[in-house]
Every structure is written in structure tokens, then in C-alpha cells.
Amino acid sequence: MRPLQGIKVVTFEHAIAAPFCTRQLADLGARVIKIERPGTGDFARNYDERVSGLASHFVWTNRSKESVTLDVKHPESIDIVHKLLADADVFVQNLAPGATQRLGLDYDTLKERYARLIVCDISGYGSDGPMRDKKAYDLLIQSEAGFLSITGSEGAPAKAGCSIADIAAGMYGYTNILAALIERGRTGRGKRIDISMLESMVEWMGYPLYYAIDGQTPPPRAGASHATIFPYGPFPAGDGKTVMLGLQNEREWKKFCEIVVRLPELHDDERFCANSRRTQHREELMHIIVDAFASLTAAQVIERLEEAGIANARMNDMHDVWKHEQLEARHRWTQVDTPAGSIPALYPPGLLSTDEPRMDAVPALGQHTEAVLRELGLDSETIDRLRAENAI
């Protein structure tokens, strides 16, 4: 029995934040019924065609769900939604601000009818405040939260290469729902969860915020290097490959000088005798390290780093990650079905000693509509009529 087996989730979701949240609930065994627009569905279905014609974002965030198409503007649709909610445990939505109120599906309305229902609203800026109605996309939230001010290189801000603000919001939605389910087990009552992408992203900005507290200078943009620890980041080897390395303390600095660059005199050099001084003189030290690595291959540099007990990594691209030996050794890959055939998928993080996570198919648009409607008691004639009226 999976941890959330028997939990029913109904979701009005699109893009990344809410789908990522509910996919993780599905991973743990929850039944997730995804309501989509007839004909078009979740617009993330059309972001690209990289996975045998399917969108990369969509296949990542929507496995193990049931897709039901429903035009919520049709006069009978809200009755169908209420039939779905009658025995639901969780309702998740990331529609435009105010949309659920207009539909009568906001928490204040639903709690009178479903006292045990947990409602999770995910939005860009939260349910109140002066920016409540402002449009919010991942890159815009990265910018608003200050992430771009510390990422990239000097004069060239850069966004994260994945949807980090959406992921942050999805994670906080997921963890808050789990906590609410535990609380409901004690109280018998549901509750509302208000997740803001901005607040989720700012929480992840805690270190640079505190670093710049009381008007102090914020961390500078340092490319792939660490802004305030050095040496920590990418260094080229003599074979043209790049090695990532990171020092955390003075003991490691001493070993780095002696074993890795084989310049023990650097340890006592006043320019480099503490992290703050190494950071201050990073350009000078960078040249010294690059010169020391110029006669070595990346493999030889890593060998020396391993001997010294200093953290290091290769700068892998996506092709390298697909065949990463550590993931293969731990059997972290499986296969899931999609409307375009089977694709590889990473098991969700967290090795379970007993039950395997749920890894069911990515649904086609509306694939489960008829089955779910029949489960709700609608007969064939009604379903055919709703389809003819483009309600489903």
C-alpha cells in the first residue's frame, strides 16, 4: 500500500507549478483527476514536441493522472465538478486570480459543503496584496524575487535553466498538502493552503538576503562560481574539459595547495590565507590554478582532488546525465507509457524499502472522461449529449 493510496485529488491545473505538485501526490499513490479544457487541454501540452511529438514539460509533470475534459462554462459542468469533489480529499488549482470565486469553487464556498476538503491555491503573488492580479510566469518571478540579480556573470544576468520558481511553488504546495492531510487526521477538518510563487522563490533566496542585510553589498554575479567562496566553481583542464570543485575550509585549502596544484607555498601566502582574502584576490588565484591544471587532463585533476578529499564534479550535459553511472547503479530509471509510446522516467527521489512509487502512464487529453463520468452516475445518453454540446 502506497502512502497516499485512497486519497483523491481533483485539480484545475496548467503549466508547471500545480501539475508538479499533484504529480508528486500521484507518485505516492493518490488518485489525481486532472480537469482540462476540451480540445486544447493544459497549454503545457503544446510547449514543444521533443518527446515523440509530446511536450517535455508535460510528460515530466503529468504521469499517473486521469485526464477529464470539461468546459466549466457549460451550465452542467459545475454539477459534475461537485460530484467529483463530493468524496475528494484535496482540490488543487492554479487558475487566474479570481477564477475559482467566479465559478463558486473557492475555499470559502467549498468549506460549507465539504468540511474535510483541503484546498490548495497556487498563484504568482498570493490571494491578496497589491500584486494579486498581476500575471506571473516563472522567469518573471525569478526576476521579482531577486534571483536574476545574483545569477549569471557581471553585466549579464541569467535565469535558471529550468522552471525553478514553478518548482519551488509546486514543492511547497506538495509539502503543505501532506501536512494538511496529517492535521486533518487529528482534527477531521480540511483547510485552505495559499501558495505564492514569489514567496516560495524568496524563501529559497534566504542566504543572499541575509548576506545583504542592513544595506550591505549583495553577493556579486559570479557565473558558475560561488559568489563568496573561492576556489569554488568551474576550472578548465589542459584537455579542454571543465572540472567543478569546491573548498569549504582552511584544512581543505592546505591539501589543495599541497596535493592538487602542488604549490605548498600558496598556503601561507597572505593574499590567500583565508576565504575572504581568496575571494578578494580571486582573479590572481584563478590564474595560478589554471596554470597548474594546464598540463593535466580533467581526469587527472579529479584524481588529485579525490586524493586530497576535496569535493568535485564533472560538468555534465543532458546526454551525460541520461547515462549517468550512479543513477544506473542505483537502478533509478524505469519506463512509463505515453500516448506516443514508452519513455524513460526517473523514479522520484527517496528510496522506499517496501512499496515502489506509482509510475503510471501520461494521459492523452480527455482519455478518462467517459470512465470518470460513468463512475459519477452519468449514463451514455447524457455523456453523448455533453460531447455533442462540446461540454466534454
User: Per-residue pLDDT tens for 190-209?
Assistant: 999 999 999 999 999 999 99
Q: What is the tens place of the pLDDT at every residue in 303-334?
A: 999 999 999 999 899 999 999 999 999 999 99
CA–CA distance, 392 with 381 (Å, rounded to integer): 13
Residue 35 lies in a domain: yes
The predicted model gives 83-112 an average pLDDT of 96
pLDDT of residue 136: 93
CA–CA distance, 343 with 359 (Å, rounded to integer): 11
Residue 166's identity, in one-letter code, is D
For residue 352, name the pLDDT band (cuts at 50, 70, 90).
confident
Query: Do strands 232-236 and 118-123 pair parallel, antiparallel, or not at all (unpaired)?
Result: unpaired
Same-domain check for residues 346 and 310: no
CA 213 from chain centre, in angstroms, equals 28
Same-domain check for residues 162 and 125: yes
Q: Which three cell numbers stand for residue 370?
A: 467517459
The predicted model gives 348-368 an average pLDDT of 90
Residue 279's identity, in one-letter code, is T
Residue 92 pairs with which residues in a beta bridge?
11, 120
Residue 250 lies in a domain: yes
CA–CA distance, 280 with 16 (Å, rounded to integer): 40
List phi, psi (to 5°) of 62: -135, 15
Report the number of distinct structural domains present in the chain: 2
Q: Which three cell numbers stand for residue 57?
A: 514539460
Same-domain check for residues 17 and 119: yes
DSSP summary character for residue 106: S
Same-domain check for residues 42 and 183: yes
Examine residue 157 and say whether the peptide bond preceding it is cis (omega within 30 degrees of 0): no
pLDDT of residue 195: 98
Give the predicted TM-score (pTM) of the model. 0.92
Tell me, what CATH number does 41's domain have?
3.40.50.10540
Domain end point (choices 288, 315, 342): 315
Residue 209 lies in a domain: no
Residue 225 lies in a domain: no
Q: Which residues, other chains included, contact 218 with Cβ-Cβ below 8 Å and sequence gap of 6+?
A: 149, 150, 208, 211, 212
Choose the weakest-confidence range: 52-61, 168-177, 313-322.
Answer: 313-322
Is the pLDDT at 355 greater than 80? The verdict is no
Count other C-beta atoms under 10 Å from residue 375's C-beta: 12
Q: Using DSSP, state whether 9 is helix, strand or coil.
A: strand
For residue 296, name the pLDDT band (cuts at 50, 70, 90).
very high
Domain end point (choices 273, 294, 315): 315
Burial (CB count within 10 angstroms: exposed 0-12, middle 13-18, buried 19+), residue 277: middle
Same-domain check for residues 302 and 369: no
Same-domain check for residues 45 and 83: yes
Same-domain check for residues 163 and 243: no
pLDDT of residue 154: 85
Domain of residue 113 covers 8-204+328-388
CA–CA distance, 55 with 67 (Å, rounded to integer): 16
Same-domain check for residues 289 and 362: no
Same-domain check for residues 79 and 129: yes
pLDDT of residue 304: 97
DSSP summary character for residue 151: S
Same-domain check for residues 75 and 31: yes
